Chains A and B, each alone.
Chain A
């Protein structure tokens, strides 16, 4: 089955700085890569996703890049705000969804 690794496990940035979270996957058959934001006590919320036929996707301050050859994808958050503080999970899908271990992002005011 698929194996998704996510780094770093914790990330602390100053408000206004950028944050980057990276994931690698093992199964070249995976073709869909969502990113979820999970706030304390809530369910994961999809924030952005990318399909394997696309290299980059952007939505306001959030962008995701995918390198199929290297089997890695990254989440980029620019101009971070305190409300971006949460746990972020990457996932890869072939027959089902496989999650990374999560990154706790702390944005300091």
Chain B
């Protein structure tokens, strides 16, 4: 009973070729997050959606964009991937934001390789 699903699990793209990663959730949570995780490092928050409200982290490059067409789906678009964008991309959800004590649930991740 997967709750946060990411597709594909592995993605290979060429330098500069746009790529889209997909995330869906069955939890009906308000918040969806995208994290970038490089080897041996903690997940780094790129941005999140609270419902339709988009919140970009200050240090997220413009190369990274996101779309949330409905509650269940969220997409990460990398417009011109560079070699430094090779990483694991994690999608997560939580019911709410702010000082709520809601749990955050992660998907299995998409491993992106840039050639």
Contacts and interface: CB of A to CB of B under 8 A. Distances in A.
A and B assemble together? yes
Interface of A: 29, 31-32, 34, 36, 41-46, 49, 51, 87, 89, 91, 93-97, 99-102, 104
- Sorting the interface of chain B by its residue count into under 10, 10 to 19, 20 to 34 or 35 or more gives 20 to 34
A93 B41 CA distance: 19
Interface in B35-55: 40-43, 45, 48
A100 B105 CA distance: 17
Given A43-B109, A89-B42, A102-B40, A49 B99 contact: no
B97 interface: yes
B106 A100 contact: no
A91 B41 CA distance: 13
B8 to A, nearest CB: 14
A52 B101 CA distance: 9
B70 interface: no
Most chain B C-beta atoms within 10 Å of own C-beta, residue among A29, A42, A51: A42
Contacts of A31: 99, 101
B99 A95 contact: yes
A89 B44 CA distance: 12
B108 interface: yes
A102 B41 CA distance: 7
